[in-house]
Structure 1
Amino acid sequence: MIVAFLNQKGGVGKTTLALHLAGQWAARGKRVTLIDADPQGSALDWSERRSHEGLPRAFGVVGLARDTLHREAPELARDADHVVIDGPPRVAGLMRSALLAADLVLIPVQPSPFDGWASAEMLSLLNEARIYRPELAARFILNRCGARTVIARETAETLAEHDPPVLAATIGQRVVFADAPQSGRLVSEIDGDSPAAREIATLTAEIDRLSLRKAAP
Structure 2
Amino acid sequence: MIIGVLNIKGGVGKTTTSMALSTAIYRSGKDVTIFDTDPQGSATLWSQAAEDNGDALPFEVLSKNQAEIRRLGSHRPDKDGQVIVIDTPPSGDVINEVIKVSDFVIIPSTSSPVDLQQTLLTCASCQDQGKEYAVLIVMARKGTTTLEAFRTAVEKSGAGIFDAEIPLKEVFKGDFGHSFPSNLQGYEDVWKEIREVEA
TM-score (norm 2): 0.92
Give the superposition deviation at 1:203. 1.7
1:3–1:103 contact (8 Å) kept in structure 2: yes
Aligned twin of 1:178:
173
The range that moved more, 111-120 or 40-49, is 111-120
CA distance in 2, matches of 1:45, 1:80: 27
Instruction: Say whether 1:158 aligns with 2:153.
Output: yes
Aligned twin of 1:61:
61
CA distance in 2, matches of 1:127, 1:160: 14
Instruction: Say whether 1:149 aligns with 2:144.
Output: yes
Give the superposition deviation at 1:126. 2.1
Give the superposition deviation at 1:96. 0.8
1:86 is matched by which residue type in structure 2?
A: D
What is the CA deviation profile of residues 139-168 of structure 1, one whole-angstrom value per residue up to 9, with x for unaligned ones? 111111111111011111111112322110
SS at match of 2:186: helix
2:146 is matched by which residue type in structure 1?
A: I
Call closer, same or farther: CA 1:60–1:77 in 2, change over 3 Å.
Answer: same
Query: May I ask how many residue pairs the two structures share in their alignment?
Result: 198
1:165-204 map, 5 Å? 165-181=160-176, 183-186=177-180, 189=181, 192=182, 194=183, 197-204=184-191
Aligned twin of 2:76:
75
- Structure 1 residue ranges, 4+ long, deviating more than 4 angstroms after superposition: none
CA distance in 1, matches of 2:159, 2:70: 21
TM-score (norm 1): 0.84
> What is the aligned-residue identity percentage?
25
Give the superposition deviation at 1:87. 1.4
- The unaligned stretches of length 5 or more in structure 2 are none
The range that moved more, 94-103 or 156-165, is 156-165
- The unaligned stretches of length 5 or more in structure 1 are 131-135, 213-217
1:100-139 map, 5 Å? 100-130=100-130, 136-139=131-134
Instruction: Say whether 1:88 aligns with 2:89.
Output: yes
The RMSD of aligned alpha carbons is 1.7
Q: Which has the higher helix share?
A: 1
